[in-house]
Amino acid sequence: MLSKEAKKSQRKYRALGYTVNWFYWDPHNVSKYKLKLQRIIFDMVGKYNPKVKGTSKEEISLNGIKTWKVSTPNSDPNKILLYFHGGAYIVGSPQGYYSMMSYLADTTGTTVYIPDYRLGPENRFPSQLEDGVNAYKALIEDLNYKPSQVAIGGDSAGGNLTLATLLKLKELDVQMPVASICLSPWTDPAATGESYNEEMAEKDVILGPIFKKMWSHGIRNFHAYYVDESDMDEKNPLINPIHGDFSGCPPMMVQVSTDELLLSDSRSMKETLEKSGCEYEYYEWEGLWHVFHLEVGMPETIKSFKMYGCLLYTSPSPRDRTRSRMPSSA
């Protein structure tokens, strides 16, 4: 059962979803005006949503990537979370996630670094992946954190970037972070999963309107917004992480909502982690929408963050980590 705060937020985000839908533009015919307005709207969420009292931010550079360092009085300076924001690789920024990062840092007791990685359509794949890898390496090589002090995570496209970064670090034989977290990760940009349908689009208050608009224009997925056709390979795990091998990767927690188009992305990712033998925890939130965590005033959001905090710097047994369940009502 949703909390009263969640029911109220659901109405607000339904209105936001239809507003964003108005700014739809064809990936083959970029509207710079609509794109700019989309980015402004997304940034307003972090600008005007509440922050924890005493939250501070510092703008720094990680390997040339503008990054916000966000902390609260509860943040441990030696417990680091490198967080990649969502936004389908075309919108989103540290500003837009400032509120969420404030509460995530405070609840998990971490110091959060959120890079302003390059976005499409101006910057094509693998620009975003290069920024993800370079930001992590800068924390280790330039700021002298140990990998055992650093976790990485992200939501939606940021979840995709988290998973792709892990695979690339493995390929490069770079020492892995201590843990990873994924909030409604976008693991199947090819949109092959069973939840990409009209019924789920009606339920998803954020993604539903824009996907229905895309489908009406004959566009079935978001690939074209940031991947060139010449680079498109639906089996490339750096684009579609559900095809990756995550053996040797750190423990991971995946959370998703039952009323979102990307539900099958997380369920498929769970199967991939099972096959890879990667330690993980998997949770589904009943009746919530895509990346509900942006709404920090909901008890469901704080409970979710506490669950992530329990994973990041504790060491439960593999049996405890490899589990799947629905969180109880907040």
Between CA 89 and CA 86 the distance in angstroms is 7
H/E stretch holding 65 reads strand 65-71
The superfamily (CATH) of domain 4-325 is Alpha/Beta hydrolase fold, catalytic domain (3.40.50.1820)
What pTM value is reported for the model?
0.93
In order along its 330 residues, the chain shows pLDDT tens digits of 899 999 998 888 777 776 766 666 666 777 788 888 888 888 887 788 999 999 999 999 999 999 999 999 999 999 999 999 999 999 999 999 999 999 999 999 999 999 999 999 999 999 999 999 999 999 999 999 999 999 999 999 999 999 999 999 999 999 999 999 999 999 998 889 999 999 999 999 888 888 888 888 788 777 778 898 888 888 999 999 999 999 999 999 999 999 999 999 999 999 999 999 999 999 999 999 999 999 999 999 999 999 999 988 664 433 344 455 555 444
- List 71's β-bridge partners, or say none: 56
User: Is the CB of residue 81 less than 8 Å from the CB of residue 113?
Assistant: yes
Sequence-distant (6+) residues with CB within 8 A of 273 are 246, 252, 254, 280, 282
Between CA 277 and CA 272 the distance in angstroms is 9
